[in-house]
Structure 1
Amino acid sequence: MSDGINRRRRRLLGSAAIGVGALNLGLNGWANAQSLAGDKNSSGAPRPASFATIRQIDAGVLNIGYAEVGPAEGPVVILLHGWPYDIHSFADASLRIASAGYRVIVPHLRGYGTTRFLSSETIRNGQQSVLAVDVIALMDALKIQRAILGGFDWGARTANIVAALWPQRCQALVSVSGYLIGSQGVGGKPLPPKAELSWWYQFYFATERGRQGYEANRNDFAKLIWQLASPKWSFDDATFARSAAAFENPDHVAVVIDNYRWRLGLSSGEPQYDALEKRLAAAPVISVPTIALEGDANGAPHPEPASYAGKFVGSYAQRTIGGGIGHNLPQEAPQAFADAIVEVARY
């Protein structure tokens, strides 16, 4: 982090008095923040934190819904969720990051929550490069030149792509499961049977039966993925329902199905992104400072840390978070995720 940003952070921290003071000063978009201090519901269980206000902004081909917490003048952190999750994967982690003086922005990806396409004519495209283009468009719309990026699942892949193709826009990166940039060429190669089994839903989505099944059963489908991907995470119904609302987006099924079909070469994407995909197919290295995180109980398909370490050529660290942490690491281990964001900003 530059001396200028350090000085700005010291001024912010000194005036905010971190903690309750920070909440009073800057967390205008936060509801139930007291849950981190032990607030309980009627059953005695902790109340899940939530975002009180979702803002909207036109950015590229989308009107993007996003939550924002923390001081408006703080260094910017953009957090990107995956499938089948939503912005609430970062609800608790966002509070912790904002309390350290950062402006935290958490957008709904295309096909989720309140994010909408501006035109009915736009292809409901889910290919990997277009999600990164959406992030750049959001940054431009919010007049953010540079940000720290963090994410998991689709969000980690998207953050990887921004860091690889637009390093001038990415100050640093926290990537759950490390390097996730792929290509249709790689996606078309067969894997050992055990590895193929873990991608069962990708093959299901390749069929019309799978599209119809996901359309009809998206909540049950998502809950099953949560259970398989995080087998030791005991989430409750309220926590799931809070995120499941994002799947009611009218474009959700189309974007999700296209994302997985594109990986198998069953969807061609859009020609205007061919040049970006060609660059990504070369598996570009990532030069920005990076911390890669992994949960010790991640039940979703994911690469081994040793397999991707060489793709990060800048300052780099990898950590496996213990205690039964699964795929949705930011929500299951919010303190570890928040600590990584604050640490990588200092690299």
Structure 2
Amino acid sequence: MNTNLARIIFSLAALLAAGSTPAMASSSLVANKQVQANDLNIGYAELGPANGQAVILLHGWPYDINSYAEVAPQLAAKGYRVIVPHLRGYGSTRFLSKDTLRNGEPAALAADVIGLMDALKIDRAVLAGFDWGARSADIVAALWPERVKALVSVSGYLIGSQAAGQQPLPPKAELQWWYQFYFATDRGRAGYAKYTHDFAKQIWQLASPQWQFDDATFERSAAALDNPDHVDIVIHNYRWRLGLSQGEPKYAALEQRLAQGPTIGVPTITIEGDANGAPHPLPETYASKFTGPYQHRSFSGGIGHNPPQEAPGEFVKAVVDADHLH
């Protein structure tokens, strides 16, 4: 049999085994499963063999699991068990109780990842993420390193604290955080609630100014923002950073550890796009935070804030390489 033909047949078979088709893989991810974990019923997509090395892909704000619509099936075709959860406040993820604080603090989001792994009986996983997802992946790798085989983090080390969030930045840097200050006001909360999709599209355009996504691509992800808890989670997250909202006592000890800026010792590849329009640290400022096997990669060609969707092939390679980094 022709070698190329054999390779194509193998790839198609792997995609079908993952519960997807090539057309679906290139168009959308569906959160086809739900699992109870901690305070949540988490909606997630799962692809690939159940006995494969687990890879958990974490999206950011204001995106959704479709940031990995091309990455996930490619990893599944390579034999990985790929888990792509909706964060709290997105898609089909729901709180179990109406009385639970709609908490967006970083420790809570990271604890959700551990809860998901426990619920799915995953001892160790490769974690990869961008934006909020990268921050959660960083935190899990720093506080629960025994649960992380390898890490891929867009924009590197994103662990912070309320104290750090209250320190003033130069005006140019503060300007990039305009929405954080907007969300600190009642008008900002009302505006985000009223214009959620319009707001999200503007963030996509500002964060990835050279990414020519079409309306269908945006609306596919924007549907996940219609979650009833979405606005509360987003507003709490940004107000918490400025010390304007408090978190939950059960996460206080974790936040105290994070405020010390813990190092990350698991094998790690950090990524930065050459056209990232969102606030992000320079790679040289965080390299020393990664004390284990480490590489940094710059994605060129106008890649912005969402590398898994803008450069899926390169992102897949980073995940596979991180898994074998030593």
TM-score category by the smaller chain?
over 0.9
Asked if 1 retains the 8 angstrom alpha-carbon contact of 2:31 and 2:92, the reply is no
Q: Secondary structure at the match of 1:68?
A: strand
Q: Distance in 1 between matches of 2:30 and 2:196?
A: 25
Q: Distance in 2 between matches of 1:293 and 1:18?
A: 30
Q: CA deviation at 1:106?
A: 0.2
Unmatched 5+ stretches in structure 2: 1-5
Q: CA deviation at 1:52?
A: 4.2
Letter of the 1:81 partner, please give it.
Answer: H
Q: Pairwise mapping of residues 152-191 of structure 1 onto structure 2 (< 5 A)?
A: 152-191=130-169
Q: Distance in 1 between matches of 2:8 and 2:143?
A: 36
- Partner residue of 2:23? 34
- Partner residue of 1:220? 198
Matched, 1:238 2:238: no
Q: Distance in 2 between matches of 1:15 and 1:243?
A: 31
- Partner residue of 1:20? 12
Asked if 1 retains the 8 angstrom alpha-carbon contact of 2:271 and 2:297, the reply is yes
Q: Secondary structure at the match of 1:51?
A: coil
Given candidates 231, 241, 248, the residue that maps to 1:270 is 248
Given candidates 57, 60, 75, the residue that maps to 1:97 is 75
Q: Pairwise mapping of residues 1-347 of structure 1 onto structure 2 (< 5 A)?
A: 18-24=10-16, 26-28=17-19, 30=20, 33-34=22-23, 48-52=26-30, 54-347=32-325
Q: CA deviation at 1:16?
A: 11
Q: Secondary structure at the match of 2:69?
A: helix
Asked if 2 retains the 8 angstrom alpha-carbon contact of 1:93 and 1:335, the reply is yes
Q: Distance in 1 between matches of 2:31 and 2:92?
A: 11
Q: CA deviation at 1:15?
A: 12
Asked if 2 retains the 8 angstrom alpha-carbon contact of 1:18 and 1:100, the reply is no
- Partner residue of 1:9? none
RMSD of Structure 2 on Structure 1 (CA): 1.5
Asked if 2 retains the 8 angstrom alpha-carbon contact of 1:16 and 1:22, the reply is no
May I ask how many residue pairs the two structures share in their alignment?
Answer: 320
Q: Secondary structure at the match of 1:267?
A: coil
Q: Distance in 2 between matches of 1:52 and 1:149?
A: 20
Asked if 1 retains the 8 angstrom alpha-carbon contact of 2:31 and 2:43, the reply is no
Asked if 1 retains the 8 angstrom alpha-carbon contact of 2:271 and 2:299, the reply is yes
Runs of 4+ off more than 3 Å: 14-18
Letter of the 1:230 partner, please give it.
Answer: S
Task: Evaluate the alpha carbon distance shift between residue 19 and residue 273 of structure 1 in structure 2; reply closer, same or farther with a 3 A threshold.
Answer: same
Provide TM-score, normalisation by structure 1. 0.90
Q: Secondary structure at the match of 1:302?
A: coil
Q: Distance in 1 between matches of 2:181 and 2:59?
A: 22
Q: CA deviation at 1:268?
A: 1.1
Identical pairs, percent: 65
Q: CA deviation at 1:53?
A: 5.0
Asked if 1 retains the 8 angstrom alpha-carbon contact of 2:268 and 2:290, the reply is yes
Task: Evaluate the alpha carbon distance shift between residue 53 and residue 62 of structure 1 in structure 2; reply closer, same or farther with a 3 A threshold.
Answer: closer
Q: Deviations over 1:66-104 (max 9, x none)?
A: 001111110000000000000000110111111111000
Asked if 1 retains the 8 angstrom alpha-carbon contact of 2:267 and 2:294, the reply is yes
Q: CA deviation at 1:197?
A: 0.1
Letter of the 1:190 partner, please give it.
Answer: P
Letter of the 1:235 partner, please give it.
Answer: F
Q: CA deviation at 1:34?
A: 3.2
Q: Secondary structure at the match of 2:98?
A: coil
Q: Distance in 2 between matches of 1:254 and 1:190?
A: 25
Q: Secondary structure at the match of 2:57?
A: strand
Q: Secondary structure at the match of 2:34?
A: strand
Asked if 2 retains the 8 angstrom alpha-carbon contact of 1:128 and 1:157, the reply is yes
Provide TM-score, normalisation by structure 2. 0.96
Q: Distance in 2 between matches of 1:15 and 1:333?
A: 22
Q: CA deviation at 1:51?
A: 2.1
Q: Distance in 1 between matches of 2:240 and 2:31?
A: 33
Q: Distance in 1 between matches of 2:311 and 2:15?
A: 21
Q: CA deviation at 1:21?
A: 2.1
Unmatched 5+ stretches in structure 1: 1-13, 37-47
Q: Secondary structure at the match of 1:19?
A: helix
Q: Distance in 2 between matches of 1:230 and 1:319?
A: 18
Letter of the 2:281 partner, please give it.
Answer: P
